[in-house]
Amino acid sequence: MPETMRAAVVTSAGGPEVIELQDLALPAQINSDTLVRVHAAGVNPIDWKTREGRGAALPAYPWVLGGEFSGTVVRASYELAPFQPGDEVFGMLLVPRYLGADAEYVSCPFMSLARKPASLTHLEAGAVPLAALTAWAGIVEAGRVHTGQRVLVHAGAGGVGHFAVQLAHHYGAHVVATASARNHDWVRELGADQVIDYTADRFEEAIDAPVDLVLDLIGDVQAETGTRSLDPRVLRDGGTYICVPTGAFPGMHAAIAAQDRDLVGSTLKLSPDGRALETIAILIDQGDLRVHVDRVFPLAATAEAQVLVADGHVRGKVVLDLDA
């Protein structure tokens, strides 16, 4: 084992210029932690938001970001642990409780790991855990979507959105999604029954009927998407509105109360649940769920990758190749 690893670190809160490539000591293994050699790491909006100081406060600088990865186990937590050296796994890290995955090695609790889907490469698998678990939490756990329901997914072509559309379709819902015109055919292929061009139409006017659940991956920070999602033409009485991005709709509860209707509103907090990730892996290998990788960058181009994700027009996911 080497004593150091390459890592893309943030040296202070700020823009992409605060990201540097450095050599760091390998992360410590504590209790149930498994040491994994990272082959690929997904890039998500929470990465650039945390870098700018808008996410959870980092305990120190430099720090490594990156909440999802695919790799190979190099050191188990104990002799009979579920994952042993040589096993191919993918998983999610709670950053900044742990050093992130934008590095050659991660130390991760084995309960946050699952075996990599056999049908995926590491580059594909590295794009799955955080985004798919977010979609799973919103559609399956909090939303409890089932056959006959109607679901609206905002940003249906994005990293979380393209998983959410597929999961809602898989569990029998009629799926409505918002996306730019260039992504309409693709989002329909994922399982959407109606796709609304948010750049040309107001979704509250274009939607074909009210829905039971709105999974909002935008919030009120853009075009008052959250507030407009509470319109009776969009969300039926007794319906549920879930806002995923942290801090994206600070007035959510007041806006719901102002509706004076029977609505449920919730934010979403994510758990790195390896058991849910196992189910997601099964769905992937069965062909019921797929991941789309838009762009791949080397670790040295982490700043460029975060800028692309922050621009908000990625189809599916952006991934870092740690083997490049």
Q: What is the chain's mean pLDDT, rounded? A: 97
Residue 15 pLDDT greater than 90, yes or no: yes
Residue 119 pLDDT greater than 90, yes or no: yes
For the chain, percent of residues with pLDDT exceeding 70: 100
| Residues belonging to the chain | 324
Residue range 215-230, pLDDT digits in tens: 999 999 999 999 999 9
d(CA 295, CA 320): 9
Mean pLDDT, residues 38-58 taken together: 94
Residue keyed to tokens 């190749």: 321
Residue 56 pLDDT greater than 90, yes or no: no
Mean pLDDT, residues 17-27 taken together: 97
pLDDT band at residue 6 using 50, 70 and 90 as cut-offs = very high
Q: Is 295 helix (H, G, I), strand (E, B) or coil?
A: strand
The kind and range of the H/E element at 134 are helix 129-136
Residue keyed to tokens 């870098």: 51
Output the pLDDT for position 203.
Answer: 98
Output the pLDDT for position 292.
Answer: 98
Residue 1 pLDDT greater than 90, yes or no: no
Q: Which amino acid, residue 303?
A: A
d(CA 219, CA 185): 24
pLDDT band at residue 312 using 50, 70 and 90 as cut-offs = confident
**Dihedrals phi, psi of 57, to nearest 5 degrees:** -65, 130
Output the pLDDT for position 102.
Answer: 98
Strand 113-115 to 150-153 pairing = unpaired
Classify residue 291 as left (phi > 0), alpha (psi -120 to 50) or beta. beta
Mean pLDDT, residues 148-172 taken together: 98
d(CA 273, CA 109): 10
State which fold the 131-267 domain adopts.
Rossmann fold (3.40.50)
Residue 67 pLDDT greater than 90, yes or no: yes
Instruction: Give the right CATH number for 4-128+291-321 from 2.40.170.20, 3.90.1170.30, 3.90.180.10, 2.60.120.10.
Output: 3.90.180.10
**Dihedrals phi, psi of 135, to nearest 5 degrees:** -60, -40
**Which of 54 and 119 is assigned the larger pLDDT?**
119
For the chain, percent of residues with pLDDT exceeding 90: 97
Output the pLDDT for position 55.
Answer: 80
Instruction: Write down the domain spans for the chain.
Output: 4-128+291-321, 131-267
This prediction has a pTM of 0.96
